[in-house]
Structure 1
Amino acid sequence: MQFGVFTVGDVTVDPTNGREPTEAERIKAMVAIALKAEEVGLDVFATGEHHNPPFVPSSPTTMLGYIAARTERLLLSTATTLITTNDPVKIAEDYAMLQHLADGRVDLMMGRGNTGPVYPWFGQDIRNGIPLAIENYDLLRRLWREDVVDWQGKFRTPLQSFTSTPRPLDDVPPFVWHGSIRSPEIAEQAAYYGDGFFANHIFWPAEHTRRMVGLYRQRFEHYGHGTADQAIVGLGGQVFMRRNSQDAVREFRPYFDNAPVYGHGPSLEEFTAQTPLTVGSPQQVIDRTLGFRDYVGDYQRQLFLLDHAGLPLKTVLEQLDLLGEEVVPVLRKEFDSLRPAHVPLAPTHASLRAAAQRAPQTGGTSTGDLAGAGAEIER
C-alpha cells in the first residue's frame, strides 16, 4: 500500500501570531514537505492545482519537475489536475515530459475543480463541468495511446493528424486517478476505463465515502476490469498529532477554528466525530486510519493532508516525523497483512510497463465505446 501526503497550497494566516507567509515562502515550504516525505519513508507527494488566491500551486508540473530533480524514490502526483479548464493536449504533453524527467515516478489525479470564477478565466462554464470532464479525458487517453489522432468534439477545436510529443515513457501513459468528493459521474468514469478512484474523504461522513467507493467498485466489475474488490481505490485524510492527544487538540484548535474551509462552523469535536479528521496521538491516527478499511474495503493509496490552515512549516515537518516514524510503519504492516493475495497493489510505472509487455496492444478507445461511456455516465 502507498502512503503519502497531499497539499492544497493555501496561503493562510497563522492564527496564533497573525503572520501570513509570502507566496515564495509557501512554495518553498511545499518543496521542503516533499523532500521530508521522501526522507521519512513515505511513497507519494501530491500537489493540488489552483488558479485563484489564496492558493499558489498554479503550475504543478513545474513544481513536480523541480522536486523530481531533488528526489530519487518519491512518487510524484497531483491532487488534482483540472481536466475541465486545462487543454487535454497540454496535459498530455506536460505529464509525458514530466514522466521522462522523473524516470516514470509520475501519476496524476483528474478533477473538475469547484471554484466557479476559474472556469471563465479559461474560457469555460462550470455548468459544463461533467461534460468537460468526460470529453477532455476521452481525448487525453487517445493522445497518450495513439501516435496520430484525428478528433472532433464540443469544447475545443478539432485535431487533424496530431501527434502529442513527447510520447509517454516506454509507451506507458501515467496512471490516472479520478478524484471526487461528491460526483457519482466521476466514479462511473473511473470505473469505465479501469482507472483509479480517489475519494477525497476529508469533509464528508464515512457513509458518503462508503457509497461513492461502493458505486465505483460495482461499476468497475460491471465493465469487466476485475472483481469489485480488485478496483483501485485511494483515500484522503486529515491528521494532526502530538504524542499526547490533549496537546494535539489544544495546539490544533485555533487553526481549526479559523481555517478558511471549515472554521467558524462545527466545533473541532463535532467535525472529528463526523468526518475522518483525526486530532490526537499517533496511536489514535493508526486506529482511525485502519478503520477506513471497514467501509471502503482493501485500498491502495492513503494520502494525508498536513499543511493547511496556516500551520507553520516547522510544525508540519514534525508531523511528518511522527507519520514516518510511528504511524506509517504500523499501517503498512497491518494493511499488508489484511490484504488478500488477489487484491492488487497500487500501479506504478514498472508494473504498468510489465503489464503492457504481457498484453497485446489494442490501440485507443473507439468512438462507440466513448459514446457508451457518456451514456452510462449521463444515466
Structure 2
Amino acid sequence: MQFGVFTVGDVTPDPTTGRSPTEAERIRGTVAIARKAEEVGLDVFATGEHHNPPFVPSSPTTLLGYIAAQTERIILSTSTTLITTNDPVKIAEDFSVLQHLSGGRTDVMLGRGNTGPVYPWFGQDIRQAIPLTVEHYGLLRRLWREESVDWEGELRTPLQGFTLAPRPLDGIPPFVWHGSIRTPEIAELAAYYGDGFFANHIFWPPSHTRTMVELYRRRFEHYGHGRPEQAVVGLGGQVFMRRNSQDAVREFRPYFDNAPVYGHGPSLEEFTAQTPLTVGSPGEVVEKTLGFREYAGDYQRQLFLIDHAGLPLKTVLEQLDLLGEEVVPVLRKEFAAGRPADVPAAPTHQSLLGARNAERAAAAAPEPTDE
C-alpha cells in the first residue's frame, strides 16, 4: 500500500501571526515538503492544480519536474489535473516529458475541478463538465497508446495523423487515477477503463465515501476488469498531530476556524466527528485511518493533506516527521495484516512495464506439443 501527502497550494495568512507567505515562499515550501516526504519514507507526493487566488500550483508538471530533479524514489503525481479545461494533447505531452525526467516516477489524477470561473478562462463551459471529461479522456488515452491518431469529437477540433512527442517512457502511459468527491459519473468512467478511483473524502462523511467506492467496485467488475475487491482505490484524508492530543487540538483550532475551504462553518469537534479529519496524537491518526478500511475495503493509496490553512512550513515538516516515524510504519503493518493475496498493489511504472513484458513473452512462447 502507498502512503503520501498532497497539497492544494493555498497561500493563506497564518491566523496566529497574520503573516502570509509570498507566492515564491509557498512554492519553495512545497518543494521542501516533497523532499521531506521522500526523506521520511513516504511513497507519493501529489499537487493539485488551481488557477485562482489564493492558490499557486497553476503548472503542476513544472513543479513536479523540478521536484523530480531533487528526489530519487518518491512517486510524483497530481491530486488534480483538470481534464475539463486542459487540452488532452497538452496533458499527454506534459506527462510524457515528466515520465522521462523522473524515470517513470509519475502518475496522474484527473478531475473536473470545482471552481466555476476557471472554465471560461480556458474557453470552456462548466455546463459541459461531464461531456468534456469523457471526451477529453477518451482522446488522452489514445494519444498515449497509438502512434498516429485520427480523431474527431464534439467539443474539440479534430486531429489528423497526430503523433505524440515524446512517446510515453517505455511505451507505458502514466497510471491514471480519476479523482472525485461527489460525482458518480467519474466513478463510472474509472470503472469503465479499469483505472484507479480516488475518493478525496476530506469533506464528506464515511457513508458517502462508502457509496462512491462501492459503485466504482461494482462497475469495475461489470466491465470485466476483475472482482470488486481487485479494483484500485485511493483515499484522501487530513491530519494534524502533536504527541499530546490536547496540544494538537489547541494548536490547530485557529487554522481550522479560518481555513479558506472549510473555515467559518461547523466546529472543529463537529467536523472531526463527521469526516476523516483527524486532529490528535499519532495513535489517534493510526486508529482513525485504519477505520477507513471498514467502509472502503482493502485499498491501495492513502494521501494526507497536512499543509493547508496557513500552517507554517516548520510545523508541516514536523507533521511529516510524525507521519514517517510513528504513523506510516504502523499503518503499513496493520493494513498488510489480513490483506487478501489477490488484492493488487497500487500500479507503478515498473509493475506496469513488467506486466506488459510478461504478456509479450507469453504471446511469443511456442505452443506446447504432445511430443
Normalised-by-shorter TM-score class:
over 0.9
| Paired residue secondary structure (1:98) | helix
Q: CA deviation at 1:355?
A: 1.3
Q: Distance in 2 between matches of 1:338 and 1:24?
A: 45
Alignment partner of 1:151 is 2:151: yes
Q: Deviations over 1:83-134 (max 9, x none)?
A: 0000000000110010001000000000000100000000001111000000
**1:341-360, CA deviations, whole angstroms, 9 ceiling, x for partnerless residues?**
00000000011011112336
Q: Which residue number in structure 2 is paired with residue 374 of structure 1?
A: none
Q: For 1:174 and 1:288, how far apart are their aligned partners in 2?
A: 31
SS at match of 1:52: coil
Pairing of 1:75-154 with structure 2 (within 5 A)? 75-154=75-154
Q: What are the Cα deviations for residues 254-290 of structure 1, in whole angstroms up to 9, with x where unaligned? A: 0001111111110000000000000000000000000
Gaps of 5+ in 2: 362-371
Q: Which amino acid aligns with 1:264?
A: H
CA separation in 2, counterparts of 1:201 and 1:265? 17
Whole-Å separation in 1 of the counterparts to 2:262 and 2:50: 18
Mapped to 1, the partners of 2:184 and 2:359 lie a distance apart of: 30
In 1, the alpha carbon distance for the partners of 2:74 and 2:153 equals 37
The answer as to 2:71 corresponding to 1:66 is: no
Point out where structure 1 has 5 or more consecutive residues left out of the alignment. Answer: 362-379
The answer for the alignment partner of 2:265 in structure 1 is 265
User: Which residue of structure 2 lines up, in the alignment, with residue 340 of structure 1?
Assistant: 340
What CA deviation, in whole Å up to 9, does each residue of 1:6-55 have, x standing for no partner? 00000000000100110000000100000000000000000000011110
What is the distance in 1 between the residues matched to 2:131 and 2:356? 30
Write the deviation string for residues 122-159 of structure 1: whole angstroms up to 9, x where unpaired. Answer: 00011110000000000000000000000001111100
- Residue 5 (1) aligns with residue 2 (2): no
Residue 240 of structure 1 is matched in structure 2 by 240
**Which residue of structure 2 aligns with residue 192 of structure 1?**
192
Secondary structure, aligned partner of 2:263: coil
**Per-residue deviation, residues 170-229 of structure 1 (Å, max 9, x unmatched):** 000000000000000000000000000000010000000000000000000000000000
Q: What's the secondary structure of 2:291's corresponding residue?
A: helix
Q: Which amino acid aligns with 2:11?
A: V
Note if 1:359 corresponds to 2:363: no
CA-based RMSD of the aligned residues comes to 0.8
The one-letter code matched in structure 2 to 1:176 is V
| TM-score computed with the length of structure 2 as normaliser | 0.97
CA-CA distance at 1:327 after TM superposition? 0.1
- 1:34 pairs with 2:50: no
| Partner secondary structure for residue 12 of structure 2 | coil
SS at match of 1:302: strand
For 2:19 and 2:154, the matched residues in 1 are separated by 46
Q: Percent identity?
A: 81
SS of the equivalent of 1:338 reads coil
